[in-house]
Amino acid sequence: HVLGESIRHGGHADILREGLDGRTGLRAEHETQIDEEARAAYCAKIEQAARSAAPIKA
């Protein structure tokens, strides 16, 4: 069970990393090009969600 959960969370982290840093693989020969405009829009969307979830200062 623990191994399965660790693998699942590792996969989730890799998906997030790909979206944030633009790299799609561990080695250059396995990478695919990411659309930079789509990546920038995605990063802005994530940033907005994080800011809206941040606690409001009194």
Are 31 and 25 a contacting pair, CB within 8 Å? Answer: yes
18 — pLDDT class (breaks 50, 70, 90): confident
How many domains does the chain divide into?
A: 1
pLDDT score recorded for residue 58? 56
pLDDT score recorded for residue 46? 86
Give residue 29's domain range.
6-53
The pLDDT > 70 percentage for the chain reads 76
Q: What value does the mean pLDDT take over residues 39-51?
A: 87
Residue 58 lies in a domain: no
pLDDT score recorded for residue 53? 84
Residue 39 lies in a domain: yes
Q: What value does the mean pLDDT take over residues 52-57?
A: 76
Residue 35 lies in a domain: yes
Long-range contact pairs involving 20-23 (C-beta distance under 8 Å, separation at least 24): 20/46
Angle in degrees, 0-180, between the axes of helices 36-53 and 2-21, rounded to the nearest 10? 120
